[in-house]
Amino acid sequence: METVSTNRAFGGTQGVYKHASTETGTEMTFSVFVPDHAAGATLPVVWYLSGLTCTHANVTEKGEYRRLCAELGLIFVAPDTSPRGPDLKGNIVADDPDAAYDFGLGAGFYVDAAQQPFAPHYRMWSYVTEELPALVAAHFPADMDRQSIMGHSMGGHGALTIGLTHAGRFRAVSAFAPIVAPGQVPWGRKALTGYLGEDRAAWRQHDAVALIEDGARVPDLLVDQGGADPFLEQQLRPELLDAACTAAGQKLTLRIQPGYDHSYYFISTFMDDHLRWHAERLG
């Protein structure tokens, strides 16, 4: 692991790091904020998964989480959203006629691709759930028995599906404007077809609404959604999650925030609420 940069902030250290990933076969960059702590002490870990077109840098620079993470004693980890490299299919330049913001580069959708040519590198599920946690555990004062996960948009989809699948690992799961039912919306249908193929049974493992319908449960969920989000009606569909949770008896706090959009102005406004909610459950 190589240190790219470190900066002091709010009585802690914000670092950016990179390493050669065995899962993606590429170099991967991620950020970690570590509050000051007593020698030998470990701290609970909050994972944050970012959305389409993002890297680790979006939440690191605009998420406004450090002050409260320092106060609450939370390590905050932000991975990238896809493998990157000039020779990878999907990592195409902006003027390429095949370029798309919602598939390929910056749009890994937190799945392990089964379709060629993406399968060798687009393994973001295994990277986020296995490889990166092992790296964090080895290099940071992380209490891996106290983990939680949150995310935004595509990353909200990732947080919900990973949290529901690994319910015993994560003590809290929350999301900002998540894609709750990718199998029923254009963003998700495009990504799941491209990465996983036409088998919709495979899609259900990466669809929060489908997972809940199929019996996955966590103690409770927190979701914030901007009422003025331009993607609300076509791509995000929080009412589908609400209906699935109601039918299944899955506890959900769904808050529609009037006037807020899809941006980090929205996320940073409610970041404190989510961090306090996670901290209560992390102990």
Beta bridge partners of 27: 20
Q: Which structure tokens are listed for 167?
A: 């319910």
Q: Smallest Cα–Cα separation from 240: which of 220, 213, 274, 204?
A: 213
Q: Which structure tokens are listed for 75?
A: 């390590």
Q: Is 273 strand, coil or helix?
A: helix
Q: Which structure tokens are listed for 63?
A: 């998420």
Q: Annotated active-site positions, please? A: 153, 229, 262
Q: Which string of b and e fits 57-96 if b means at least 16 CB within 10 Å? A: ebbbeebebbebbbbbbbbbbbbbbbbbeeebebbeeeee
270, 176 Cβ separation under 8 angstroms:
yes
188, 210 Cβ separation under 8 angstroms:
no
Q: Smallest Cα–Cα separation from 138: which of 71, 275, 45?
A: 45
